[in-house]
Chains A and B, each alone.
Chain A
Amino acid sequence: MTEATADSPAATGSTKSGSLFKAGARTRKRHASERRFRLMGLSAVIFGILALVGLMTSILSNGLSSFQQTYVTMDVFLDPAKLDKGGNLDPADLEKITTFTIQPLIQTAMQKTLEELGIAAEGVNAKQAFDLISKEAPGELRRYILADPTRIGKTVSFDLLASGRIDGYYKGRVTMESAALDSNVSPEQLMLADKLKQAGILEARFNWSFFTAPDASDTRPEAAGLGVAILGSAYMMMIVLVLALPIGVAASIYLEEFAPQNRWTDLIEVNISNLAAVPSIVFGILGLAIFINFVGLPQSAPIVGGLVLTLMTLPTIIIATRSALKAVPPSINDAALGIGASKMQAIFHHILPLAAPGILTGTIIGLAQALGETAPLLLIGMVAFVREYPGAPPEGFFDPASALPVQVYNWTQRGDPAFVERASGAIIVLLIFLVIMNAVAILLRRRFERRW
């Protein structure tokens, strides 16, 4: 036995011979540093939460109002004298119906309504009363008439969109003071609107057309909608799913199971990780150079956007698939090979089903990233103002369209503050889609994992 060489307990801070309940200096220091570390972690989490809450509050406060829109309900008499001069619904005559021919109809309807309700329009002439209605309304009416010309001659009750300024008045953007300075609306018009509201024919409703209507010009923010953008994004997601998933999974399986371990495969692996880090705008330039200039695909089409986004999503899917494949226990592979399964059978019957949750999660995360990508789409021209809905797939993939994040960008560039509300509303819609996609990813993962 060696000599007792231990220092006295007090000097080293250890309580070799004291009570367990007495904490020495070292123990106290250790506790203090643990407390500090926990505090740092907690502050990081709180900071993150605060940032998120701040972001959500700002978006929601700006955007929630875009889901409501002001409408005016009026009876409009579809005067055949103005619409169908020939009297027998001749297509040549119907061609001549323009928004100019319809405007007087609405004007008359407005005057009649005011009379019927006994509202005195002080300081507002007929034209100004008509201006309470959105400039989109004649176009809507025209579409309604041309859809079924036999409607000419009837009196139909319409829900007409109120003009942007009126809508803004009820959302707090426009006040009596600002109206006095505004060339587009006068305080008298606002008071007339109040009277219509009291009479019950002007009210705010849930804005379904926000989801279905196409984009509108700068002067008509009240009519602007996400219809074209949602379709465009949906088409692109379809293309990405159909292309990126099989290619990514197949590439991954090949690299994991079949490729020999040499310098070339090492090079490929390094480059896949690099690809995932390439800035997305570079993919946009690539898309422009190859798909539009070289191959000659139409600009601003979902097919080009879809192809570019596929290239962007491939590395994500490949990396997720590889780690899912690696996570499958090799004993399963051995068991399958041991009873005489070929490599392909072992992969498709045993390994892939077990790797499926990881692959699916990676795919959906990749899709969610692709949904929110803006930079590459700007470069391939999807930033254009598109009013026509793209057709049904597959021809519709070649029609010009827009995309959700690009639409947000587009609207933030416009002057009218009503578009700020629209842009925030579009962000909310985008976020809802992303939340749904991530929820689907989690649900699918849970469902597949239970089988294991």
Chain B
Amino acid sequence: MSEAVTEKAVDAAIKETAIKMRGTDVSVFYGEKQALFDVNLDVRRNNVTALIGPSGCGKSTYLRCLNRMNDTIDICRVTGNITLDGEDIYDPKIDVVELRARVGMVFQKPNPFPKSIYENIIYGPRIHGQVSTRAEMDEIVESSLRKAAIWEEVKDRLQEPGTGLSGGQQQRLCIARAIAVSPEVILMDEPCSALDPIATAKVEELIDELRVNFTIVIVTHSMQQAARVSQRTAMFHLGNLVEEGPTDKMFTNPDTKLTQDYITGRFG
């Protein structure tokens, strides 16, 4: 019996050290309106965590808290505690620009800069002082585009504008751009919702490959996508975190009725 206890303790310890970002009692207010109610959610290292739930449930809001993009909205107020590797990211002493270099973001609608593909990728590393020579720049551009599975398609037209690519290519370009600064966490806000099924499949494949080097949090409307791509899933509803756990368990044997109803399509 004590062996089982020890094993459980070891497992718990391993689980503890594998936490990349921890959110404790996170609440978000837009002016007077409260959008998130005391959310406690951990993001594990080198895992893909999917946030699911019906429209307006607060999953994108929570995602944007993780890299303080909510700061750009004047009336938005965040309470509670969010840490990255144990450090409070809302501490006034930290530089939010540094944070965003370590926690990158890919948006729902592909938004490449209206510059060349090369410029799109190299902009981040350049402003963070990660590159100095032309050779280093070329190397980062190539490796990011390769990791985003788009190198073969664009290697001959790096100087053409990024906005000239198709929707799926643009989104992979944005992912490459996010990767180029070597973040530790990549946040993805419904990255495939503007893409066709084939492009979606490519991006999902990509997410699986990226997991080896990055921690990924993905907000998705598609349950199938969450099931395919993630290791852990969190279910949100009306600003509350309803349930969180391993993906297999969530989709086959969820703890709460709400989750069960959502997954089986009773609502949402």
Taking a contact as CB atoms under 8 Å apart, the answer to whether B127 and A340 are in contact is yes
Instruction: Tell me the nearest residue of chain A to B102, going by C-beta.
Output: A340
Taking a contact as CB atoms under 8 Å apart, the answer to whether A338 and B178 are in contact is yes
Taking a contact as CB atoms under 8 Å apart, the answer to whether B109 and A337 are in contact is no
- Cα(A373)–Cα(B137), bound, Å: 52
> Which residues of chain A are near B181, meaning CB under 8 Å?
339-340
Number of B residues with CB within 8 Å of any CB on chain A: 28
User: Which of the four size classes fits the interface of chain A?
Assistant: 20 to 34
A28 touches B (CB below 8 Å):
no
B254 touches A (CB below 8 Å):
no
B262 touches A (CB below 8 Å):
no
Q: Give me the interface of A with B, judged by CB distance under 8 Å.
A: 260-261, 329, 331-342, 345, 349-350, 354, 451-452
- Cα(A329)–Cα(B106), bound, Å: 16
B69 touches A (CB below 8 Å):
yes
Question: CB < 8 Å: which of A335, A340, A342 contacts B111?
Answer: A335
B37 touches A (CB below 8 Å):
no
Nearest-neighbour CB distance to chain A for B107, whole angstroms, equals 6
Taking a contact as CB atoms under 8 Å apart, the answer to whether B104 and A338 are in contact is yes
- Cα(A333)–Cα(B71), bound, Å: 13
Taking a contact as CB atoms under 8 Å apart, the answer to whether B111 and A334 are in contact is yes
B197 touches A (CB below 8 Å):
no
B8 touches A (CB below 8 Å):
no
> Which residues of chain A are near B100, meaning CB under 8 Å?
337-340
Nearest-neighbour CB distance to chain A for B72, whole angstroms, equals 7
> Which residues of chain A are near B112, meaning CB under 8 Å?
335
Question: CB < 8 Å: which of B101, B104, B111, B123 contacts A331?
Answer: B111
Taking a contact as CB atoms under 8 Å apart, the answer to whether B114 and A340 are in contact is no
Give chain A's interface secondary structure class.
Answer: helix
> Which residues of chain B are near A349, meaning CB under 8 Å?
123, 127
B229 touches A (CB below 8 Å):
no
Supposing A340-B97, A340-B181, A354-B114 touch, asked if A335 and B124 sit within 8 A by C-beta, the answer is no
Q: Give me the interface of B with A, judged by CB distance under 8 Å.
A: 67, 69, 72, 74, 97-102, 104-107, 109, 111-114, 123-124, 127-128, 174, 177-178, 180-181
Taking a contact as CB atoms under 8 Å apart, the answer to whether B111 and A341 are in contact is no
Instruction: Tell me the nearest residue of chain B to A261, going by C-beta.
Output: B74
Taking a contact as CB atoms under 8 Å apart, the answer to whether A350 and B97 are in contact is no
> Which residues of chain B are near A342, meaning CB under 8 Å?
97
- Cα(A88)–Cα(B111), bound, Å: 83
Q: Which of B102, B104, B105 has the most C-beta atoms of chain A within 10 angstroms of its own C-beta?
A: B105
Nearest-neighbour CB distance to chain B for A350, whole angstroms, equals 6
Supposing A334-B107, A336-B113 touch, asked if A341 and B69 sit within 8 A by C-beta, the answer is no
Supposing A261-B74, A332-B111, A335-B113 touch, asked if A341 and B97 sit within 8 A by C-beta, the answer is yes
- Cα(A235)–Cα(B97), bound, Å: 44
| 5 smallest beta-carbon distances between A and B, as pairs | A340-B101, A338-B105, A331-B111, A340-B100, A339-B124
> Which residues of chain B are near A329, meaning CB under 8 Å?
111
> Which residues of chain A are near B123, meaning CB under 8 Å?
339, 341, 349
- Cα(A331)–Cα(B97), bound, Å: 17
> Which residues of chain A are near B111, meaning CB under 8 Å?
329, 331-332, 334-335
> Which residues of chain B are near A260, meaning CB under 8 Å?
74
Taking a contact as CB atoms under 8 Å apart, the answer to whether A340 and B98 are in contact is yes
A to B CB contacts below 8 Å, 7 in the list: A261-B74, A338-B100, A338-B178, A339-B124, A339-B177, A340-B101, A340-B181
> Which residues of chain A are near B113, meaning CB under 8 Å?
332, 335-336, 350
